[in-house]
Amino acid sequence: MTERQPLRVVPLIDQRTAPLPTPGAAFLSGTRIAASGLLHDSLNRPLRDLRISVTDRCNFRCNYCMPKEIFGKDYPYLPHAALLSFEEITRVAKVFIAHGVQKIRLTGGEPLLRKNIERLIEQLSALRTLEGRPLDLTLTTNGSLLARKARDLKAAGLQRVTVSLDGLDDAVFRSMNDVDFPVADVLAGIDAAQDAGLGPIKINMVVKRGTNEHEILPMARRFKGSGMVLRFIEYMDVGATNGWRMNEVLPSSQVIQLIDAELPLLPLGASSPGETAARWGYANAAGQHDVAAGEIGVISSVTQAFCGSCNRARLSTEGQLYLCLFASRGYDLRSLIRGQASDTDLISAIGHIWQGRTDRYSELRRALPGDTATGAKRVEMSYIGG
């Protein structure tokens, strides 16, 4: 019997964006890595969270994610044959679970645009963690299709949803989604998700200075005591098309100060390892956390990097594995999936990739040469999800 040759995993980049420097090929050694659930990267960060983009399409044109001038009617979206099938996604998910993944989030683009997404959810919801527990199976959506799909998503096995909502004022919301979509329809979708039991629901608001910071307090008032968790996200330098500038970032510390002046807050501890949001609870008259009033979160990847505890990998809709939201290259798993690679091969390949992970872009941002707003050519958020 001839000796089996070691796998070769070649980093790729999203060629649909402006040209990027071609990274060197990554060669895997002949040492096989088995699944133990204890996989750690070079900075001792475990692999626990997998985010899977199921489509590169979206029906919104938010200027911080898919600006209309770039993602216009002639934009070359991926052909259906290039997308991983539901069966291929499920196979990869099993491999990641073998390495210790406990949470899977479906993203896009807008994931509810993927036809028959409920079938994929059914397949993923049948999987179990190494401890025999159901996966923490979630989905992030812009909410536009949620009112009609919430009950079917729940019936398929989805546990909860995160809804992107950048303001309550209809004019502001229509301007930010840039397709004149009414905020009332998203709010109806949120209500439908809550009625269907897809909770606790998280509401994500990207705060862009000069655009929607005046919506912070109305959002806090609206969702306080609702049973939902409102999270404020600093406007990030993801990708190369959103024209990011640091002076458009409103630091999370200022968001907290603004809310606390009207609705007193107190800091809460992290609810799970690797959590991206710092938690703040609404305080009662005695200065204690009012559980009924709930909490908010702030995601401060620009001003307070949390790379040190990042345990997330991201799988693009065409099967490229990215190790950071700000990455400029990914690893081609699709060629392995559609080739002759066994599950054991995939386990070993992913093990080598994760063990070599050094990504900590947010921590290094200020030390990077050049203007990170215009010079860095990173993968687009619409391609690998937030």
Q: How many helices (H) and strands (E) does the chain have?
A: 11, 15
**Is the CB of residue 383 less than 8 Å from the CB of residue 317?**
yes
**Strands (DSSP E) found in 84-182:** 103-107, 136-141, 160-164
SS3 content of the chain, % helix, strand, coil (to 5): 30, 20, 50
Could you tell me the two tokens for 245?
Answer: 């500038």
List the chain residues with pLDDT less than 70: 1-30, 237-244, 274, 362-363, 365-386
**Is the CB of residue 339 less than 8 Å from the CB of residue 7?**
no
In this predicted structure, what is the pLDDT of residue 355?
93
User: Which tens digit of pLDDT belongs to each residue from 132-147?
Assistant: 999 999 999 999 999 9
In this predicted structure, what is the pLDDT of residue 129?
97
DSSP 82: G
Q: What is the Cα gyration radius of the chain?
A: 21
In this predicted structure, what is the pLDDT of residue 275?
77
User: What is the number of other CB atoms lying within 10 angstroms of the CB of residue 80?
Assistant: 9
Residue with tokens 């594995």: 321
User: What is the number of other CB atoms lying within 10 angstroms of the CB of residue 153?
Assistant: 25
In degrees and rounded to multiples of 5, residue 88 shows phi and psi of -65, -40
Could you tell me the two tokens for 155?
Answer: 């019936």
Residue with tokens 């099993």: 94
In degrees and rounded to multiples of 5, residue 216 shows phi and psi of -60, -55
Q: Which of 81, 97, 173, 109 is nearest to 136 (CA)?
A: 97
**Is the CB of residue 218 less than 8 Å from the CB of residue 169?**
yes
Dist. CA 186–CA 136, nearest whole Å: 24
The pTM of the full predicted model, rounded to 2 decimals, is 0.87
Provide the CA 179 distance to its chain's centre, in angstroms: 22
Q: Which of 260, 251, 193, 257 is nearest to 227 (CA)?
A: 193
Dist. CA 365–CA 337, nearest whole Å: 34
Rounding to the nearest 10 degrees, give the CA dihedral for residues 174, 197, 270, 37. -110
- Provide the angle, in degrees to the nearest 10, between the axes of the packed helices 146-156 and 183-196: 20
DSSP 128: B
* DSSP-based three-state secondary structure for 356: coil
Residue 376 vs residues 75, 304, 307, 320: alpha-carbon distances, Å: 21, 20, 18, 20
In a 13 Å sphere around the CA of 267, the CA atoms on its Cβ side amount to 6
Q: In order of start, what are the domains of the chain with their CATH numbers?
A: 8-384 (3.20.20.70)
- Pure H helices in 64-137: 86-98, 117-125
